[in-house]
Amino acid sequence: MRDGFLKVAAATPALQVADCTYNTEKILEQIDYAYAHGVKVLVFPELCITGYTCQDLFFQHTLQQGALQSLNVIAKHTAGKEIVCIVGLPYMHNNKLYNCAAVLLQGTVLGFVPKTNLPNYNEFYEKRHFATPLPYNETTIYNGCPIPFGTKLLFQCMEMPELSLAVEICEDLWVTQPVSINHALAGATLIANLSASDETIGKDAYRRSLVTGQSAQLICGYIYCDAGQGESTTDMVFAGHNLIAENGTLLAESALFTQSTIITEIDLQRLNAERAKLTSFSAAQTQNYHIISFHLQIQPTSLSRTISAAPFIPQNMLERNTRCENILQIQAHGLAKRLQHSRCNTLVVGISGGLDSCLALLVAAKAIDLLGRDRKDIIAITMPCFGTTQRTKGNAEAMVEQLNATLKCIEITEAVRLHFRDIAHEESVQDVTYENAQARERTQVLMDVANQTNGLVVGTGDLSELALGWATYNGDHMSMYGVNASIPKTLIRHIVKYVADTADNKALQKTLLDILDTPVSPELLPAKNGEISQCTEDLVGPYELHDFFLYYLVRWGFGPAKIYRLAIYAFNGAYPPVTILKWLRIFCKRFFQQQFKRSCLPDSPKVGSVTLSPRGDWRMPSDACCTLWLAELEDL
């Protein structure tokens, strides 16, 4: 439960119709199994104590009493166990029989939730056996004690306020207005669904989309537990199709026709962060809801769910290629609109032979093509200086020629040396002044050539560099339109690889692959033996780590301590914890210290859910302090 993670499960036990004793034994086995695996919320199928397919046996007093006795046994079995169990049974209240879920914890029944929507379209005819509950909560007497009974119950964990549990039963999800909508609007972050959904051809796909879609619409965790084998097969078959979803993502799923228990973790902090950001998510509407508090000790939660080390990059190759193409389209259309609106004659791009300028040039070519213009309107300028290597210069020139753009080579070494003399800076002092003078000279050249040609300077800097402030203020930091500003370095690499893989021009493909193989470098320090001497990741740290930190800090608002633990799990030994901690500290410091560079960014197209535009998704004071964030890391 630490860091907002809650281990949950859906269990479909073996079952015999109307045999409460047998069914109870199997339920207890599943409780013990889940408890041993650290599960805190365990959901069973609809009417699991008796079986869903008892038909008119539900009217039998013997079955009703057998179900109550079994509930007593199950509740007693939970004593001393910190696990919320939700079981289904027929329950008599005020002389009416209800299809109910009983929520159990530590030997007690916290509440009964009756099914709201009773189907009447198959041979079981639930309306034949069960009553429709009243629209308001009541109190029922169970074992001589008053217990909440109703469809508007919220079960709230006192130690973990993010955990607010609500229950709906099978058909309650399948109707036009699912019960869980009201639950979520009242504050429920986790929905448990006890179901008995018969299996027909194609129904599993629909069921899957229904559960994941509902979890996305409600921004919640959703546990769907289905009845399985053992139910009567007189006229239909049940497959035990269990599903656990979180905000549109399927976290766990059972195979059909298996008596299985699926276990995973719901990230409740993540759900709360998303709800807090979405102003369109209505404020809590708790009217007529009864909140039942319960206690669970906060303990570390072992993770079994997938935490990708590359959160910006889809793991599926097809999805990855689709994303790369979509991003290129967004960039190109954004640039084309700006070029068209500004009525500029040219696009001016500084091309270094590195990844960022490579992508910017590819986007420029695509934008020009969209407008039906000649690629010669792209003026690609390479500006060699002290640190430029033949490899990067050669790749830059080759790429420009292969894209049929206009190539200019402007040597800036003497201009920078003249500037050094003007400001009395010794060339032998290779400090930040030495480096930034080159970057600013390059920007001046680009801007002036744009003036000469009525052009628009295309920015090349990426999201990762903006997060770290790895840009020269009023140097490569500045442009007239920054096409890469919301794309992290790790994703840029995949976009360039996608273009290379799909290129018809074999020469261009070869050049792009060599650019991908070139170390990331600003090339501001003199080369050594003709090779790059300045590797960015040696100085600021691995971009794959920084992109991971950026994603969880900005997208989900996680604190550094949680990000650190997630990184250890995601990178799984690729970096020792001490290394992750080192670069996370540096990331936090630089992210705060360099905000002033982001506060005056040029326009740029948003392509994903993480962007640092001061006009869009990230607004932060330039003088905000990172004391609390660093202190959190010190406490690890």
Phi-psi map region of 216: left, alpha, beta (phi>0 left; psi -120 to 50 alpha): alpha
Residue 282 has pLDDT above 90, yes or no: no
Q: Which CATH number fits domain 2-294: 3.30.565.10, 3.60.110.10, 3.40.50.10190, 3.90.1150.10?
A: 3.60.110.10
126 tagged catalytic:
no
Rounded alpha-carbon distances, angstroms, from residue 540 to 105, 548, 552, 633: 50, 14, 19, 18
Rounded alpha-carbon distances, angstroms, from residue 554 to 393, 490, 581, 619: 36, 16, 18, 11
Residue 123 has pLDDT above 60, yes or no: no
Exposed/middle/buried for residue 603 (C-beta within 10 Å: 0-12, 13-18, 19+)? middle
Residues 6+ apart with CB under 8 A from 297: 1, 82, 159
123 tagged catalytic:
no
* Among 7, 40, 115, 489, the one annotated catalytic: 115
Q: Does domain 317-634 have CATH number 3.40.50.300?
A: no
- Contact (CB, 8 A) for 377 and 490: no
**Range of weakest confidence among 73-82, 324-333, 512-521:** 512-521
* Among 7, 20, 40, 46, the one annotated catalytic: 46
Looking at the chain, the domain(s) classified CATH 3.40.50.620 span 317-634
Exposed/middle/buried for residue 276 (C-beta within 10 Å: 0-12, 13-18, 19+)? exposed
Task: Give the residue from 151, 31, 13 showing the smallest Cα distance to 84.
Answer: 31
Looking at the chain, the domain(s) classified CATH 3.60.110.10 span 2-294
**Range of weakest confidence among 296-310, 319-333, 486-500:** 296-310
Rounded alpha-carbon distances, angstroms, from residue 428 to 134, 434, 533: 85, 9, 16
Instruction: Output the pLDDT for position 520.
Output: 84
* Among 54, 170, 358, 385, the one annotated catalytic: 170
How many Å apart are CA 128 and CA 143, to the nearest integer? 27
Tens of pLDDT, residues 308-347 = 999 999 999 999 999 999 999 999 999 999 999 999 999 9
Instruction: Output the pLDDT for position 121.
Output: 65
- Contact (CB, 8 A) for 310 and 545: no
170 tagged catalytic:
yes
Query: Between residues 551 and 539, which one has the greater pLDDT?
Result: 551
- Contact (CB, 8 A) for 47 and 12: no
Tens of pLDDT, residues 125-169 = 788 999 999 999 999 999 999 999 999 999 999 999 999 999 999
How many Å apart are CA 40 and CA 554, to the nearest integer? 29
Exposed/middle/buried for residue 125 (C-beta within 10 Å: 0-12, 13-18, 19+)? middle
pLDDT (mean) for 379-403: 95
Tokens standing for residue 412: 């800036």
Evaluate if pTM is beyond 0.85: yes
Task: Give the residue from 82, 76, 263, 77 showing the smallest Cα distance to 160.
Answer: 82
Phi-psi map region of 384: left, alpha, beta (phi>0 left; psi -120 to 50 alpha): beta
- How sure is the predictor about 380, in pLDDT bands with cuts at 50, 70 and 90? very high
